[in-house]
Amino acid sequence: MSDSDAPLRVILAEDHTIVREGLRALLSARSDMSVVAEVGDGQAAVEAATRLRPDVIVMDLGMPLLNGVDATAKIREQAPGTQVLILSMHSSEAYVRPAIRAGAGGYLVKGSGLSDLVAAIQALGRGEAFFSPAVAKILLQESRRPEGAQASAPAGDNLTNREREVLRLVAEGRSSPEIAELLSLSVKTVEGHRGRIMAKVEATNVVGLVRHAIKIGLVSADE
């Protein structure tokens, strides 16, 4: 964490340029925060966090190349001193639970006021958690479940990391040859992954795969 008198070092990870620039303008006007980088995809977010070791990274869930959940997990592994604040338009359990499991320390729903964003960044900078009311309600409900009871996992949560990568790329509209090139695999191997994914998520076509990718937070419904 930063020295108590030093500005909090923040990275903005948001693929919509106008949103990212707006956040930067708002935060840069403050003396207690310094935006040290801004990126437009999940892979760049991981690389920037690993290189710059900011106090907080504000992460959109629906990021290209690497979605916000998987980027969060990588950041928490490679730069454990960096706290991740998820900024998302979604507040349902299907989006919240994977983000928290990945290591996000805060979850703020888009549409919240600037004061909430500032408070969230400050809280994470102190090592505390911060959640929008709707998100906090979900977490409270989970804490009240009887001991040993678990929420049912969304279909597709049992995918391997490689299968998650393949599913994300399929949902982004990539063909099997494109996926093979991006992941340095053979087309036959990619097709094998697709078949196993379809069996696990009980999908019969690409539309079903896309729906499940959205359901488990690999891609955003607004992409």
Give the model's pLDDT for residue 156: 47
Instruction: Identify whether residues 92 and 179 lie together within a single domain.
Output: no
Burial of 22 (0-12, 13-18, 19+ CB in 10 A): middle
- Give the C-alpha separation, 188 to 61, whole Å: 30
Instruction: Identify whether residues 13 and 111 lie together within a single domain.
Output: yes
CB 223 within 8 A of CB 93: no
- pLDDT, tens only, 158-186: 788 888 888 888 888 888 888 998 888 88
Instruction: Identify whether residues 118 and 182 lie together within a single domain.
Output: no
Instruction: Identify whether residues 13 and 88 lie together within a single domain.
Output: yes
- Give the C-alpha separation, 219 to 223, whole Å: 7
Q: Which residues pair with 12 in a beta bridge?
A: 38, 58
For residue 155, being part of any structural domain is answered with: no
- pTM, whole model, 2 decimals? 0.65
Mean pLDDT, range 8-31, rounded to an integer: 90
Closest CA to 120 of 33, 3, 4: 33
The CATH number of whichever domain residue 86 belongs to comes to 3.40.50.2300
Give the model's pLDDT for residue 133: 77
Last residue of a domain, one of 143, 176, 195: 143
For residue 150, being part of any structural domain is answered with: no
The residue ranking higher by pLDDT, 157 or 85, is 85
For residue 92, being part of any structural domain is answered with: yes
Domain of residue 67 covers: 8-143
For residue 186, being part of any structural domain is answered with: yes
For residue 151, being part of any structural domain is answered with: no
Query: How many structural domains is the chain composed of?
Result: 2
- pLDDT, tens only, 104-131: 888 988 877 788 889 999 999 988 888 8
